[in-house]
Amino acid sequence: MKRHATVALLAAATLAVGAVASSAPSTPTSSDEVALAPVGPAPGSNVEKRVDALLERMTTEEKLQQVQLLSDGQVTDEDARKGVGGVFSLVDPARIDELQHIAVEESRLGIPILFAYDTIHGYRTIFPVPLGAASSFDPEVARTDATIGARESATVGLKQIYSPMVDLSHEPRWGRIVEGGGEDPYLNAVLAAARVKGAQGDDYAARDKVVTSVKHFVAYGQPEGGRDYNTTDMSESRLRNYYLPPFKAAIDAGADTVMCSFNSINGVPGCANRYTETDILKKEWGFDGFIESDYTAVSETRACPPRKPDEGPCGHGTAADGPEAAANALMAGTDSEMVSTHIRDNGAQLLREGRISRARLDDAVRRILRIKFRAGLFDHPYVDQAEAADESSFLTDDDRAAAREAAGRSMVLLKNHDATLPFDASKKTAVIGPLGKDQHSVLGPWWGRGRDEDAVSVFDGVSEQSPGATYAEGCTLTPSEPPSNTPEDECASDAGFAEAVAAAEAADQVVLTVGETREMSGEAASRTTLDLPGRQEELIEAIKATGTPFVVVLLNGRPLTLGDVAGDSPAMLEAWFPGVEAGNAVADVVFGKVNPGGKLPVSFPQRLGQVPIYYNHEPTGRPCDVTQKYNSRYRDLRSCDPLYEFGFGLSYTSFDISGLTLDRRTMSRNGRVKVSVTVKNTGERKGDEVVQLYLRDPVASIAQPVRRLRGFERVTLAPGQTQRVGFTLDRDDVGFRDNRGKLVVEPGEIQVYVGSSARADLTDSFRVR
């Protein structure tokens, strides 16, 4: 260690005199040369100059190391010594620091490593899953989650997070729908920007900030059949108007890294896609950060057969072999390769053969170095071990309080017949159901460093507020992965139903916790049914038969088909996977401390066969009419509607939205229209309403969606209180993107709808001229 310190001092001395980098890349021959090598111009000079100076000194081998991103399981001291660019999933602060010391003090140029992690909805303080946070219709929820997640991540030495995940999706079978903001581009965009700002602040070099990586670029949310990683075939119009806007919003908010996706888009894999990576992201949008591949995604572009045993993942078949995969990925715009090592291993040969250009390799390295400089890594590479080892740096009381509030704000009241809820906490409460004592699934499928033992179960949260609460599991959902656990194992037996029924009979009210395990959601967790797994519906029927009032509390990560459950249940609360404060937040809502105000960010179908079903669909020449034959309907379903539409959610109070006014009837193409409404709390409790504004362009050169969300505001009102809510619309709101990404604003009528869900019926219109 002593020698390392000497090296650092020498490097610093060289820095101080502002040594000029030599232009020819040199290879070190002795440790003296290592010690004397300047690592770039003095701190304080601008980033681009520092990048250029460093780049000039790099050998090809060093550049190829810099574009390599290794996992915690892969990386060795030797990789750090050679100058590996990034490491992910390593969270031990001592090991992070150790590798960083090697990189900074023993690698020839002392370039620090960028350490990254999947802090998706929390690092140690686990917030609601992103689909839940989206239900809050409150960017502050997303921002707070990212702020705390960034601070906790940075404390252990991480400087990049693989978040926000902004994959819009119309595909509830896809397990990863849980990680994004649902089916709407505008809501996704607002939340993406909030997450980026929360994690990065104004300057992600700050010690409690990290650079965000927005993912998965792009259109990963629409895999055919809902199977993860599967093909996406997508029109340019869809890509431009639905799938790209959340990415653009994240980039505009400052996201400086992007992860390209596993899927192919119209036949071209996301990490070898020159059109999306270079033409759109880098050229059209001017993105100057770097793109890392998803896990082995570069390797997966290779054709599989004939396969050598050690060759690793393959499949897409747009490259014959590793070298070709490397060349395609790099030349398409991928700057950093995660896990597989084709660019690093074949880069020198590819350069010699002219299959990759030096300019492009330099560009990739420049982008990576730029972000490292912006992140302040060259100035503060090391981890404060005392702080990182101090338990009180994580999951503080304030963090827990924020997670509890976020979870409460994320819950959606789907049904509340005869004001079943809120329950009276002084009455006898039974918690029933397979997830009632769960401290595992409530953390969701990206639990970071969250610990099951930190999580408050629904039973514990309910007991805290309704002392003496009882519990019966009813049946078991097993928290494990296939193939050790198959769907047939889930809540398969009714052996525990009698005990559950007895508990319900002995209680005044029942909190019935059903749903999915966290293993049923997230990556590689697609399902062919959206029903509650196993015999959970039968359990609900058994509880119903007791006559004891009950609420079904749903803990899950995707839209479910809840028609029968809704038929059986007086009250239903969609709690998603609420995070570390799950039980407290559920109890807050169930007992009325918190009045639910969340809204669905995604449509809940009546039946799986309606999928894809989303509110912002285009019109057809034969709109659904179940009383007629030749139109766009199902012959075996009496409506084309979802069970619960986008934007839907109830409250313990009621609201009235009225008085829609527009400040003008015509808008010039560069002008603005201000839309206002009055919202009134017409009930007897304080509560939240999300006022939602939708637009429709009824006549356009490309058919426009029947509605598009273009504004929302969550307001809190006391009983009888009114508030005026205003939205300002401009060209971005009334226009659409053409196939080259240009905003098209066509003259004509724009219809306005304002209300409390996508069914909003307060309407007016104006003209664009």
Strands (E), 102-159: 114-117
CB of 322 to ligand BGC, least distance (A): 20
Residue written as token pair 């790209």: 244
Which residues 310-349 are close enough to bind ligand BGC by CB under 6 A?
none
CA 343, CA 496: separation in Å to the nearest integer?
56
From residue 443, how far is each of 190, 246, 408, 455 by CA, in Å?
24, 25, 15, 7
* CB < 8 Å & 24+ apart, contacts of 38-42: 38/11, 38/14, 39/11, 39/14, 39/15, 39/109, 39/110, 39/111, 39/378, 40/15, 40/378, 41/15, 42/15, 42/16, 42/18
Residue 227 vs 731, nearer CB to ligand BGC: 227
CB of 118 to ligand BGC, least distance (A): 5
If binding is defined by CB under 6 A, does position 162 make contact with ligand BGC? yes
x/- binding map, residues 77-96, to ligand BGC, per CB under 6 A? -----------xx-------
CB of 33 to ligand BGC, least distance (A): 36
If binding is defined by CB under 6 A, does position 300 make contact with ligand BGC? no
Among 321, 523, 641, 656, binds ligand BGC (CB under 6 A): 523
Residue 179 vs 733, nearer CB to ligand BGC: 179
CA 724, CA 722: separation in Å to the nearest integer?
7
- Whether 709 and 727 have beta carbons less than 8 Å apart is answered as no
DSSP annotation of 392 reads: G
If binding is defined by CB under 6 A, does position 97 make contact with ligand BGC? no
At 675, which helix (H) or strand (E)? strand 673-681
Burial pattern 59-68, b for ≥16 Cβ within 10 A else e, equals bebbbbbbbb
Residue 89 vs 357, nearer CB to ligand BGC: 89
If binding is defined by CB under 6 A, does position 118 make contact with ligand BGC? yes
CB of 255 to ligand BGC, least distance (A): 14
Residue 118 vs 324, nearer CB to ligand BGC: 118
178 backbone dihedrals φ, ψ, rounded to 5°: -65, -25
Residue 212 vs 328, nearer CB to ligand BGC: 212
Which two three-digit tokens encode residue 73? 């399981």
From residue 317, how far is each of 267, 328, 330 by CA, in Å?
10, 12, 16
Residue written as token pair 């490593």: 113
Residue 86 vs 461, nearer CB to ligand BGC: 86
In a 13 Å sphere around the CA of 98, the CA atoms on its Cβ side amount to: 12
- Is 730 catalytic? The answer is no
Residue 242 vs 295, nearer CB to ligand BGC: 295
CB of 523 to ligand BGC, least distance (A): 6
x/- binding map, residues 266-295, to ligand BGC, per CB under 6 A? ----------------------------xx
CA 570, CA 565: separation in Å to the nearest integer?
9
CB of 91 to ligand BGC, least distance (A): 12
Residue nearest to ligand BGC (CB): 162
Catalytic residue among 294, 335, 399, 733: 294
Burial pattern 296-324, b for ≥16 Cβ within 10 A else e, equals bbbbbbbbeeeeeeeebbbebebbeebbb
CB of 198 to ligand BGC, least distance (A): 18
3-class DSSP assignment, residue 699: coil
CB of 215 to ligand BGC, least distance (A): 6
Total binding residues for ligand BGC by CB under 6 A? 8
Among 124, 197, 215, 737, binds ligand BGC (CB under 6 A): 215
- Amino acid occupying residue 465: Q
Residue 160 vs 441, nearer CB to ligand BGC: 160
Nearest in space to 414 (alpha carbons), one of 211, 209, 252, 556: 556
Q: Which residues belong to the active site?
A: 294
Interaction site with ligand BGC (CB under 6 A): 88-89, 118, 162, 215, 294-295, 523
